[in-house]
Amino acid sequence: MRQDSLFRLGSTSKLFVGLALALCKGRGLVDYEASVSVYLEALRNTDAGKLTLKQLFTHTSSLAPLHKAGLRERDDEVTEATIADIVEGAGSLSIDPSKVGQYAYSNTGIILLAEVVSRVQDLSYEDFVQKEILEPLEMHHTWFHTRDIDLNQKTTGYFPNFQAAVDPDLQGYAPVGGMYSTGPDMAKLMGLLQLALDDSSSAELPIKAEVIRDLTKVYFQEGQRAMGVSVDIGYRDGHTMIGHNGRINGDASYFTFFKEAEVGLVFMANGGFPLGRTSAPELLGKLLESPTDATENR
């Protein structure tokens, strides 16, 4: 492994959708309580169009995980779907009103939010993320598509049976699972969260602290699970854990800021096994107990 080794982020890609949406909110471009059809005309007079942005980013919309019922993530109809295909498919999905307000993970809902970002300003979602997030944070090794990367830098992902995985170039679903990045790049994003959530810090940040605080605000809670703006918030063993994890085609990523400890953990692997809420606090404890002062590299 090298510092510039590329891993696929999987669902950790959704962090960027949340941050992009929070940036738009900070500029007065979106209202979280507004129906998504306010921004996406194609969803007017549909069940999906009645859902609010907040219901979408907290995964309480009851939308199907993918844009058509019965699809699997590895199906060609998913990997080759365009944004237009996904929006059209979302408009045909039926919503069970009794399930709205309950947590149910949906890639479809987050894709709709990425398209909202595209519609409320002049740039495509990917160009907006590049200009407003990646460039200010100097994340020069983070990409949306397989076609954009140097394949010599990409780690080979492996399934549990040690079979090498193949990376399809996701099209419309790239914002929710297709991105690539390096450990050092993701550490820059973690550093932003750490400083923005530190009330004692007066550092000048490339993205305003209030945007990060909105991103990580609890907008929904169900037991030990809570949701910010497309950001997972969990509670365990006295820790508030803020971030996301992902797994796709043999790669795994785990990105979590431990609020009370003021420590960020970025874990990337080509084995397909992300850390969970149980194992991550245990790893954090071992790091903090290490003879080498882990706090030096917070």
pLDDT tens per residue, range 190-226: 999 999 999 888 889 999 999 999 999 999 999 889 9
**What are the b/e assignments for 111-124, b being 16+ CB within 10 Å?**
bbbbbbbbebbeee
Q: How confident is the model at residue 298 (pLDDT cuts 50, 70, 90)?
A: very low
Quote the pLDDT of residue 294.
41
The total number of structural domains in the chain stands at 1
Distance in angstroms (rounded) separating the CA atoms of residues 18 and 230 = 5
In a domain, 2, yes or no: no
Amino acid 228 reads: G
Quote the pLDDT of residue 71.
84
Residue 131 sits at φ, ψ, to 5 deg, of -75, -40
Q: Which residues pair with 6 in a beta bridge?
A: 154
More confident residue, 95 or 238: 95
In a domain, 208, yes or no: yes
Q: How far is CA 148 from the centre of its chain?
A: 20
In a domain, 1, yes or no: no
Quote the pLDDT of residue 295.
41
Quote the pLDDT of residue 120.
98
pLDDT tens per residue, range 31-51: 999 999 999 999 999 999 999
63 in Cβ contact with 106 (< 8 Å): yes
Percent of the chain residues past pLDDT 70, beyond the cut: 93
Longest dimension (CA), the chain: 61
In a domain, 171, yes or no: yes
Least reliable range by pLDDT among 90-99, 136-145, 148-157: 148-157
266 in Cβ contact with 184 (< 8 Å): no
Looking at residues 98-113, what average pLDDT do you find? 96
Distance in angstroms (rounded) separating the CA atoms of residues 115 and 120 = 9
In a domain, 15, yes or no: yes
In a domain, 183, yes or no: yes
Kindly tell me the sign of the dihedral angle through the C-alpha atoms of 9, 210, 295, 185.
Answer: positive
Looking at residues 102-120, what average pLDDT do you find? 97
Domain that holds residue 41: 7-297
In a domain, 207, yes or no: yes
> Model's pTM, two decimal places?
0.92
Percent of the chain residues past pLDDT 90, beyond the cut: 68
Looking at residues 229-247, what average pLDDT do you find? 91
CATH code at 131? 3.40.710.10
